[in-house]
Amino acid sequence: MAIEIERITTITAALGECPVWDAAQASLWFIDSRKGRIYRVDPQTDASTHYDVPPPAGSFALNDDGNLIVALKEAIALLDTASGECRSLAHIEASHPNLRLNDGAAMRDGSFVVGTMHIYRENGEAPLGGIYRLQCDGALVKLDGGIGVANGPAEHPVNGRFHIADSAAKTIWSYVIESDGALGERRAFVNTEALGSAPDGCCFDAQGGLWTALVHASAIARFDEQGRMTDRIDLPLAHPASLCFGGPLLDDIYVTSITDSGRLRASGELDGALLRLRGAGYRGAPRFTCRIRAA
């Protein structure tokens, strides 16, 4: 089946991340992490609005009150979309010039789970930070450590396991989610080194296939529940960063990309663009919304 690839909006991001489909508004949200700018785009008209938060900003999720939960450098904040005010909700315990919160997502229970990235480490130096959950009551809980560059956290729509990529280790991990929300047994789901890339942002289709951006290989790929690659789609840009399903039937794939992440750079015509792919033959699993009510 031929896949149609087109650019949506003229916005060019330095570090395009965290695409989120908003079914209620039929719009696509994403963030330019280096600029601290969160965009909402109407894919039908290319009309867009944006909100600015203190950079760097790793990710965000839609909250059910119309606001956004945003991962800043070392804090998780609530962005009031009516006033533009950004209010800190919680801080992680670790602090370092080369450490920041990175990719995050809403979970089934309404919480927000986010991981850190600790770059420029010495050989053998353990990464600071880890994986954190901001609970619906605003309490912050550390779920795990030892993650170098966290990307693509998501719950499997069929088996309920939690998946997260460590781009530094070129590995996507799969965890049991315990009844109290803690992360239990962990196993390696897939290692992408043989594909010439680290895994970056991830999402699931309705069949339970995990899709990830092959950030160093100009492609996105799908893996089945056994970690076998079933699909690979090459893209006309250098560094795809993240992806999500969207559109009225959740059968479009939106991909964000990079011109300058600080470590990766590209200057082609479509680098930094937001792409829409049609005809991949899959529908996405619905994404969750946060239900955070912090005092």
Q: Give the C-alpha separation, 249 to 268, whole Å.
A: 31
Q: Is the pTM of this model over 0.85?
A: yes
Greatest Cα pair distance in the chain: 51
pLDDT of residue 36: 98
Q: Give the C-alpha separation, 190 to 199, whole Å.
A: 9
- What is the rounded radius of gyration, in angstroms, for the C-alpha atoms of the chain? 17
Q: Sign of the CA dihedral 260, 265, 267, 271?
A: negative
Give phi and psi for 255, each to the nearest 5. Answer: -130, 130
pLDDT of residue 2: 87
Task: Assign 86 to helix, strand or coil.
Answer: strand
- The model's pLDDT over 138-170, given as tens digits with 9 standing for 90+, comes to 999 999 999 999 999 999 999 999 999 999 999
Q: Sign of the CA dihedral 106, 110, 113, 114?
A: positive
Cβ neighbours of residue 83 under 8 Å, at least 6 residues apart?
none
- The model's pLDDT over 54-79, given as tens digits with 9 standing for 90+, comes to 999 999 999 999 999 999 999 999 99
* In the chain, where the domains are located: 4-278
CATH class for domain 4-278? mainly beta
How confident is residue 194, by pLDDT bands cut at 50, 70 and 90? very high
How confident is residue 131, by pLDDT bands cut at 50, 70 and 90? very high
How confident is residue 295, by pLDDT bands cut at 50, 70 and 90? low
Report strand pairing: 171-177 vs 219-223. Answer: unpaired
- The model's pLDDT over 247-277, given as tens digits with 9 standing for 90+, comes to 999 999 999 999 999 999 999 999 999 999 9
Q: Average pLDDT of 91-116? A: 97
Q: How many residues belong to the chain?
A: 295
pLDDT of residue 274: 98
Rounded to the nearest integer, the mean pLDDT of the chain is 97
pLDDT of residue 294: 75
